[in-house]
Structure 1
């Protein structure tokens, strides 16, 4: 391990600024989840199921909008791409607290679609500003910063909701996020290298050629084969018309290889594991009759992730995100044996140590596999995969808890994530064997 990597990286002023802006921009949304739940339950006098529906709608909006927002950054630049998000964040979350539940669902969906793409922008910029071992450390620092934000954000949201009002809290979320977006536009962190030789986005075929040529050797053939196959199929169907459309569609996803898809599955597995564990912690602590100690378990879990991230970021060798996810899934299973708050907090440490490393390794892999011309869109899809896993994991774990008991949430989380990790390992092994035969 080389902890000097942190010092060297933080000595780069743009890197420090990107990490700081990322923390500031994420903090309002870290508080928004608790505020939305308490607004539906307390202010609108609905149940937790209704609150969960609002959270699900926001999640769907984010999952659908993230790739589109990332592609806008690739095509028109950061400043122009962020304008719709800045406006919508300020308007929607200032109006949402004053409408009925039905309209809140609509606004939540729109708000999710236009959410400020902090995750993809920060990771895309760090991928440009740092390379090699520094890139791993940069992504780890961002994961650690995120852990710190989510240790404090929900607590601030709860204080605002109970001490002042959820209306004021949600309005502050919108204004604060919009302000962070304006600051991000002013700072304008790089999303491409200064000499990347990017091809104008309107020239689709030329852009495709540039992406394939610039890609690493092991990615060129799959990308070229995908484009050629799509073109041939299009010409056979209708050379005069549909061929060009299909070629453009293939060109737009020339960066999507089997290796990239595997990383997205890992991201979905990580999201499922984290969300399911989250629900399991809440259920087990509440069933113990002492919900006031819930914050202790989350603090220990997040602190373990922070420590694991620091250690991983100082490592001088790469570890596969698939192996990290598998290890995290297996280490989450013992949480099923917890009997009280203390034992649950202690059993959360092993799995928690791998939270930040899994996300950092997956982000690093995407940055390595996808060229800068399409990295914003790729990071958007990566965020969507993570969000999709979260949206799937929470309700399924909840169903298992309602049917069997609190302990089953951890069993479901570990087993499902382990299966996804094994699936990706098997897929990668098949691809490697196929390449060797060819």
Structure 2
């Protein structure tokens, strides 16, 4: 878990570093920076299941070596690329980014007994929160105190170190006693309605989370308190980590659906009280208490539903679902914030997350069509010798 925490730091710093490099280093607008970020996010969403499938087939080391080499070359080459090339290469570079999150979940599923996985997944989500508190802040510090070019080059060096570390450490992605068939089961055999419903809830959760962050920044900007954004976000992360610890410790945790419902419903009324900044931070605590537990419950359910032979691909699909939720949530909530006060942004984040996540339980309850049984008379006509 320590290795995975350190490996996540370059990944958490990518978005803000690329934005500041395009805006400050290349002198372009935030729209241009957003285009590069969208291309990278789309690449990750498309490539995560493919990379997971490669891990299932070839093992960890060859895939880490390939993805790490591509990521290192891309980030070290960013300062030499013109903007059109930067956009064009962001998609393939995103497709082959080192899959640290899905790798961590695979390793935990393989190495931790089933009765203790909830605690392990909760610790992993706390590790994610911690990395997001450190990585972007460190990237902003390097960009502002040194230069965006230095930050971009540092990310390239960070990905090189990440690749060497994971290749040397080589954590097992399957337990040695697991009975894993040599042939990959067909997609329709393991991508069941339950697993698909879990992915939908994951997408809804990330829609809600990214929308909440955007609305929080908009609320602070409208009150002239943007300088306190780092403190408010730190409070949100600490609340999420606290919820993750409780979720991992209790004997009877709440279900994924219930946690998602709390996450979305509790964020809707946040917009009623957005000033001053410390009051906004306080009212954001309840919804963020459900953040890490929702993500941990999602990973636990995917690990339980996916067969060992396709676990990497299933975890890759989970990464894709979260990326899609973020990609949908940012423009929708952003558009609401462009035309309405921040309070409506919180409402849109909660309501949108509910709409997407509600498709999951609905999918589970949707009746499975059964073939009509032939009447006894028809059976006698078809097979008279076996009429008895």
Within 2, Cα distance between the matches of 1:339 and 1:281? 8
Asked if residue 170 in structure 1 is aligned to residue 105 in structure 2, the reply is no
1:86-134 deviation line (CA, Å, top 9, x unaligned): 1111100001132221111122212211100101111011001112331
TM superposition outliers: structure 1 runs of 4+ over 6 Å: none
Within 2, Cα distance between the matches of 1:397 and 1:84? 36
1:369-380 equivalent positions in 2, closer than 5 A: 369-380=305-316
**Is the contact made by 1:69 and 1:380 (CA closer than 8 Å) also made in structure 2?**
yes
Asked if residue 265 in structure 1 is aligned to residue 200 in structure 2, the reply is yes
2:251 aligns to what?
316
1:136 aligns to what?
118
1:100 aligns to what?
82
**Is the contact made by 1:30 and 1:153 (CA closer than 8 Å) also made in structure 2?**
yes
**Is the contact made by 2:45 and 2:319 (CA closer than 8 Å) also made in structure 1?**
yes
2:41 alignment partner, one of 36, 59, 63: 59
Within 2, Cα distance between the matches of 1:419 and 1:110? 31
Unmatched segments (≥5 aa) in structure 1: 1-18, 209-250
**Is the contact made by 1:85 and 1:178 (CA closer than 8 Å) also made in structure 2?**
no
Unmatched segments (≥5 aa) in structure 2: 374-388
Q: How far is 1:252 from its partner?
A: 4.0
Within 1, Cα distance between the matches of 2:234 and 2:369? 46
2:384 aligns to what?
none
Q: Structure 1 residues 418, 182: closer, same or farther in 2, change over 3 A?
A: same
**Is the contact made by 2:16 and 2:140 (CA closer than 8 Å) also made in structure 1?**
yes
Within 2, Cα distance between the matches of 1:290 and 1:27? 27
2:323 alignment partner, one of 387, 394, 398: 387
SS at match of 1:279: helix
1:44-193 equivalent positions in 2, closer than 5 A: 44-193=26-175
2:4 alignment partner, one of 18, 22, 46: 22
2:226 aligns to what?
291
Asked if residue 279 in structure 1 is aligned to residue 261 in structure 2, the reply is no
Q: Structure 1 residues 428, 199: closer, same or farther in 2, change over 3 A?
A: closer
1:345-387 deviation line (CA, Å, top 9, x unaligned): 1111000001100000000000001111111000000100001
SS at match of 1:322: helix
Within 2, Cα distance between the matches of 1:252 and 1:96? 37
**Is the contact made by 1:96 and 1:107 (CA closer than 8 Å) also made in structure 2?**
no
1:31-60 deviation line (CA, Å, top 9, x unaligned): 221111111111111111111111111100
2:349 alignment partner, one of 390, 410, 413: 413
2:386 aligns to what?
none
Q: How far is 1:267 from its partner?
A: 0.9
2:273 aligns to what?
338
**Is the contact made by 2:60 and 2:170 (CA closer than 8 Å) also made in structure 1?**
yes
Q: How far is 1:183 from its partner?
A: 1.0
SS at match of 2:217: helix
1:231 aligns to what?
none
Within 1, Cα distance between the matches of 2:255 and 2:229? 32
Within 2, Cα distance between the matches of 1:253 and 1:391? 26
1:289-344 deviation line (CA, Å, top 9, x unaligned): 12111111101111100100000010222432122111110001121112321221
1:246 aligns to what?
none
Q: How far is 1:283 from its partner?
A: 1.1
1:3-42 equivalent positions in 2, closer than 5 A: 19-42=1-24
Within 1, Cα distance between the matches of 2:44 and 2:358? 27
**Is the contact made by 2:205 and 2:357 (CA closer than 8 Å) also made in structure 1?**
no
Within 2, Cα distance between the matches of 1:309 and 1:46? 39
What root-mean-square deviation, in Å, do the aligned CA atoms of Structure 1 and Structure 2 show?
1.6
Within 2, Cα distance between the matches of 1:24 and 1:253? 36
1:256-293 deviation line (CA, Å, top 9, x unaligned): 00000001001110111111111111111111112111
**Is the contact made by 2:203 and 2:357 (CA closer than 8 Å) also made in structure 1?**
no
